[in-house]
Amino acid sequence: MSSADRVFEALSSTTRRRILAYLSEATLTAGDIAQRFEMSQPAISKHLSILEAAGLVWRKREGQFVKYGMQRDTLSGTLAGFLQEVCPPSRALRKESASLSKKARE
């Protein structure tokens, strides 16, 4: 499975998208996140492990707690790559861009 496939698989869950929304605002523990859902901490931990495997979250141990945060670069890079794939620039725009790049190198 490609990294983009893992990202989109992880994003297919409403719960995981909501977790990412919370993590976009603050670093949280699994317990902090579980309090925001009607789910057990082990269920939230499973969602977090899927998000981490996709590269969408990072984790850091702080004493007895593990804090989670959003890995923005992975999400933005995957979405930008997807948009480039399904909505490529027009031929005229690519030609103009190549021309400008060539002039900039000269």
User: What CATH number has the domain bearing residue 45?
Assistant: 1.10.10.10
Helical H runs in 12-90? Answer: 14-23, 30-34, 41-53, 72-86
Q: What's the predicted TM-score (pTM) here?
A: 0.77
pLDDT per position as a tens digit, 46-67: 999 999 999 999 999 999 999 9
Residue-wise pLDDT for 13-35, tens only, equals 999 999 999 999 999 999 999 99
Answer yes or no: are the C-beta atoms of 19 and 28 closer than 8 Å: no
What is the predicted pLDDT for the residue at 90? Answer: 67
- Residue 82 belongs to domain spanning: 3-105
Q: Give the whole-angstrom CA distance, residue 52 versus residue 58.
A: 6
Structural domains in the chain (count): 1
